[in-house]
Each structure stands twice: as structure tokens, then as C-alpha cells.
Structure 1
Amino acid sequence: MIPPSNSTGSPPGRTPTDHLTPERDMTHRHFEAGDHVVVIKGVAGGELWGDAMRIVAPSWHTPTNENGWRLRDATGGDQSYVTAHPRYLVHLTRRCPDCVIYLRAMEDHLLPKTHERSSLIDFGWYTVTSLGQLVHVADARSGR
């Protein structure tokens, strides 16, 4: 279960590095307008958690110079709409094989590193630019 959340918590100690998302090969065509998705941002109570959103329209993702998606966060937060690269997204309402494999890999990578902590842990992998674009730290550093 991936409970949606806009909460932030600071992980004590080192934050696990996300080697999986930057290497994920997810095409723009994998998602479509109307899909419910989640961006995995951390762990809460021994489960993955992230921000749940709905895809509303195609959009250019400037930080990666690739096709992205405009997403609507129904809970609002600082920004109700952001643009994101497809590799950041996971289907929430349908269990497609690619997304299930990615979720299992994230669980295998993250849950053992956080099993002793019961609080919400936001790994700080994402930031939103002044243009309203969700950017993974690996993309922000590389300047792609």
C-alpha cells in the first residue's frame, strides 16, 4: 500500500541513495492522461509512500529535455500542478508489470534500510523548480 502524503519528515542519519529511478527506462507512452500515479518519496510505517497525483496532459520536462507529464495533486499543497518525467511515476490504479517490478525493487532496496524506524521518512530525492517542474536530485545534478 502506498499512502499518499504531502508530509515531510527528515531522516536521521544518511538518506538511502536512489539508484533505481535515474536508471529507470520509462517512455512517455507508458502513461496517459487520466492515469492515477504516485511519486515514491520515502517510507512510512514500513511501507513506501509518496505523492499521489492524476496525469492531466503531456508537457515538456525542461530539466531532462524529454517528454513529461503535467500532474495534478488533488490535495493541493504548495503547488497543485507539476510537470514530471515518466521515470518518476508509478501507476496507482492499475498493476502494470513495469510499475510492479519497479515498486518491488524499491521495496527491496529501501525497506531493509528503514525497518527500525516507524516515523515518516522523506528521502529528499525530489524538488520542485520555479517553473513548477518536479526534478529528481540525479537530474538536477546532471543538468540533463
Structure 2
Amino acid sequence: MLPPSWTPPSTPAFAPTPDPLTPARDITHEHFHAGDQIVVLKGVAGSELWGDAMRVVAPSWHTPTDEDGWRLRNADGGAQTYITAHPRYLVHLSGNCPDCLIYLRAMADHLLPKFTGHDDAVIDCGWYTTTALGQLVHIADARGGR
């Protein structure tokens, strides 16, 4: 369902698409464990959801949300091999997690109809930024000036 982790070389210019699901997602720190393979959904590639695949490494405080987070490692490297993220941003890559499957389905139902007709496009919906501290922050969690 999800393409491999990669950053598209040229993402078409689309306005950020609202994400009403992730900010309200009720997933605790205990839902994930060191070693889990996860994905952070970022948009749509063709007719499927797209995101960055990573591995959960260790517990870490997520300063932007003042909550327990996870240190993640991107095996593909990139500008930052390690980042810290809040658990509600993460989705298990294995297909045997009911909570994550429900979230994936809801995200697909929400996003895919918005991008019909863009079958060959890779669309980053603009939900995330990485802070100077290497912490992934959803736009709904961003604090002004911090």
C-alpha cells in the first residue's frame, strides 16, 4: 500500500491539505516499541498514501508537544538520519495492528478523493516540519515562536 521511503525530487505545488485526523489521533507512547518499523504519512503518490518509512529506536521527549515521543531512524539517511516524533504521527508498517489499519483507512478515505486525476503525481501535503532540534512537528502541534 505504501511506496518505499523517499523524498520526491519535484513535488507539484499544491496548497497544504488539511489533516483533521492526525492531531486528534489517540495513540499513546506505549503503542510503539523499539525496533518497530513505522511510516509517517505525508501525502499521496499516484493513487496510494505516501510517507517516510523509519524504525523506532528509543524513547525520547518530544519538546514541541511536551509529551513522550520516539527517536526514529531513517535507514535511507537523508538530511537527518534521526528525528524525534510524537506517537500519533506514526503508523506500523506491518499489517497486523488494528489501530494503525483503521487510521490508514481513514487517511486514505480522506485524502485519496482529493487528488483524483493526479495519478502520476507525488504530493506532499505539507503537514510536517523538522525543528532545529531534529524533532518532527505536525503543523497542528507547532507553537508560534518556539
Same fold flag (TM > 0.5): yes
Task: Using the TM superposition, give the Cα deviation of residue 10 of structure 1 relative to its aligned residue in structure 2, in angstroms.
Answer: 3.7
Relative distance call for 1:55 and 1:13 in structure 2 (3 A) is: closer
Aligned to 1:7: 7
Q: Distance in 2 between matches of 1:106 and 1:123?
A: 12
CA-to-aligned-CA distance 1:38-83 (integer Å, 9 cap, x gap): 0000100100010000001000000000000000000001000000
More helix by share: 1
Percent identity over the alignment?
68
What does 1:99-138 align with in structure 2 at a 5 Å threshold?
A: 99-117=100-118, 118-138=120-140
Look up the SS of the partner of 1:135 in the other structure: strand
Q: Does 1:76 align with 2:77?
A: yes
Q: Which runs of 5+ in 1 are unaligned?
A: none
Length-normalised TM-score, structure 2: 0.92
Q: CA RMSD in A?
A: 1.6
2:15–2:125 CA contact under 8 A, matched in 1:
no
Q: Distance in 2 between matches of 1:63 and 1:27?
A: 16
What amino acid maps onto 2:41 in structure 1? I
Look up the SS of the partner of 2:75 in the other structure: coil
After TM superposition, the structure 1 stretch with the greater mean CA deviation from structure 2, 127-136 or 86-95, is 86-95
Q: Distance in 1 between matches of 2:14 and 2:73?
A: 32
Length-normalised TM-score, structure 1: 0.94
* Number of aligned positions between the proteins: 144
Q: Distance in 2 between matches of 1:143 and 1:104?
A: 34
What does 1:24-63 align with in structure 2 at a 5 Å threshold?
A: 24-63=25-64
What amino acid maps onto 2:113 in structure 1? P
Segments of 4+ moved more than 6 angstroms = none
Q: Distance in 1 between matches of 2:73 and 2:21?
A: 24
